[in-house]
Structure 1
Amino acid sequence: MRPIAVIGPTGTGKSALALAVAERLGGEIVNADAMQLYRGMDIGTAKLAPEQRRGIPHHQLDVLDVTQNATVARYQQDAAADVEAIAARGCVPVIVGGSMLYLQSLLDDWAFPATDPAVRARWEQRLAEAGTAALHTELARQDPAAAATILASDGRRIVRALEVIELTGRPFAASAPVIGAAPRWDTAIVGLDWDTDLLDARLRQRTETMFADGLVGEVTTLIGAGLRTGTTAQRALGYAQVLAALDSGDDGSAALEPTFVGTRRYVRRQRSWFRRDHRIIWLDGAAPDTVAATVRAWRDVS
């Protein structure tokens, strides 16, 4: 059973398309959205509620507490096991999401550079003492190319890059996996996107709906579950903005506009990443029958 991957920027309708394709082909869903791995992070990640899943099994949803750190390596291992188990049952694995590294690691079976807890701890201590800006400056000194591709606010990735540079003695990019000639399992990769103006309007509506549906209340509940102590979950779009608004004394509503702006910026990054992959068959989200087009792409892959 050849898998289908439905990928693309946030807000393009990937979940709905994947669900319809799985229903048509007798498939099961494998999530590839890093933040949907977390229990309780539902509204801000647009996670389908159980009653919306049409009885179709979903995998890699709600597998982590917000106090745990999601990692690409662990996701790759667990999601690959799900894909192979689904195929062994005679069903079609339908992989869906927009988390770039997670998708690429799964579809290209990436091998990750080694890690050393002592080296990592030392850089994390430097991060805690000096802050992200100082550590980003250090990364720029050691590896300007890596610093150019990693946000100065992304402390976790800065630490990882410095760890790899120290362990390998080579630039961080030298250890970066590459896009292969053919995807793992001969997966058909379908990309969903919209005209930029139309997608911006969808993102605006999506953000407003999340806040109307209770995103602030969801964040408040998750704070009680330890959201602030987890490195990964608290940085999720929407959640980070609400936390910042609450910390400033606001009721959380001031986070709406920064969430929309941040999401739109993230979409630009996703587009840039995914457009490098020559294997993706792109579909217009406004087209009348993306389900049929996705099924055709799956059947035509060789």
Structure 2
Amino acid sequence: MKLPLVVINGPTASGKSSLAIDVALRLQEAGRPSEIVNVDSMLVYRGMDVGTAKPTAEELALVRHHLVDTNDVTQTASVADFQQQARQVIAELRTHGIIPVLVGGSALYVHAILDEMTFPGTDPEVRARYEARLAEVGPEALHTELAQRAPQTAASILPGNGRRIVRALEVLELTGGFTPQLPEWSYALEHVLQFGLELDREQMDQRIDVRVDQMWADGLVEEVRGLLPQGLREGLTASRALGYRQVLQFLDGELTEQEAKERTKSGTRRFARKQLAWFRRDPRVQWLPAGDPGNGGVIVDQVLAALR
């Protein structure tokens, strides 16, 4: 039989990364080699460490991590590319008898990797034209243009989400249509064991506030300054990451530093609620209480049982 594919989902600050390391180490102690596959779309960026809560060098040394620090900040992350890369890593690990542990809070990326999902093609020239238009008029104006061409599509995309607006216009031009709805849950990969970490809203908000305060204390502002010569502003994905966008606004004089910190907290809280709501829609996820020290044992017991 194929080795199980362990998936650990959950919102920001729920403890996914540390649990994944715990599970991988426990599996190794049980004689089952295991490695971690990152499914957080921002951990791929080199130099974006503090603001993404990237695992430390010590944690990365404990268990091998894949799809971490693979991109420069100027590169645009694509869910289609991530799907291909992650599936290739999973297949290679299984071929070598290594149990993959997927971990991350990017719900769309998890869905794309695990389930049947195809993506329309892309055209660099068409994409570049709409990206230039986005830079010229801003996301709200471009959203208005999208609404004139495809009202239903525009209604499904927030006016401030420039990346999705550009992608919708690109697909419209290339194919004549755009379907924003995602497919139903249908595994494309075999032997998946999905777990989710849940916590109540008050606890989640408190954890996020503590995390953001710690990011500032650990030097997020200095990290952003250091990434400017590497092209952070030009990175369409990296520059819009939570925390990084707000610090850039602070450095540009648009916000005070305290305002940047508070907006990072509020934006992260909204994002975490969306993450949790998305994962809760998936009936295949087994939910565990975030922070329970017994979670690693629960997951490993199920993995070992699946191998018998």
Distance in 1 (alpha carbons) for counterparts of 2:306 and 2:126: 44
Distance in 2 (alpha carbons) for counterparts of 1:271 and 1:22: 24
Instruction: Give 2:27's aligned amino acid.
Output: L
Distance in 2 (alpha carbons) for counterparts of 1:9 and 1:140: 31
Instruction: Give 1:12's aligned amino acid.
Output: S
138-147 or 67-76, which moves further after superposition? 138-147
User: How many equivalent pairs are there?
Assistant: 300
Distance in 1 (alpha carbons) for counterparts of 2:6 and 2:78: 23
- SS of the aligned residue for 1:180 comes to coil
Instruction: Output one character per residue of 1:4-49: Cα deviation in whole Å (capped at 9) or x when no partner.
Output: 0111111100001100001111310100111100111111111111
Instruction: Give 2:60's aligned amino acid.
Output: R
Q: 1:275 to 1:145 in 2, by over 3 A?
A: farther
Instruction: Give 1:128's aligned amino acid.
Output: A
What does 1:205-220 align with in structure 2 at a 5 Å threshold?
Answer: 205-220=210-225
Matched, 1:199 2:204: yes
Give TM-score scaled by structure 2 length: 0.90
Q: 1:120 to 1:52 in 2, by over 3 A?
A: closer
Distance in 1 (alpha carbons) for counterparts of 2:304 and 2:152: 40
What does 1:206-245 align with in structure 2 at a 5 Å threshold?
Answer: 206-245=211-250
Distance in 1 (alpha carbons) for counterparts of 2:303 and 2:148: 46
Instruction: Output one character per residue of 1:183-236: Cα deviation in whole Å (capped at 9) or x when no partner.
Output: 513211111121111111111111111111111111111112211111110111
User: Between the two proteins, what is the percent identity of the paired residues?
Assistant: 48
What does 1:72-111 align with in structure 2 at a 5 Å threshold?
Answer: 72-111=79-118
| Structure 2 alignment gaps of length 5 or more | 29-33
- SS of the aligned residue for 2:14 comes to coil
Instruction: Give 2:153's aligned amino acid.
Output: A
Instruction: Give 1:208's aligned amino acid.
Output: D
Matched, 1:23 2:25: yes
Distance in 1 (alpha carbons) for counterparts of 2:249 and 2:173: 33
Instruction: Give 1:135's aligned amino acid.
Output: L
| Structure 1 alignment gaps of length 5 or more | none
Matched, 1:117 2:119: no
Return the match for 1:160 from 148, 155, 167: 167
- 8 A contact 1:190–1:297 mirrored in 2: no
Distance in 1 (alpha carbons) for counterparts of 2:306 and 2:75: 37
- 8 A contact 1:188–1:301 mirrored in 2: no
Instruction: Give 2:58's aligned amino acid.
Output: E
Matched, 1:129 2:136: yes
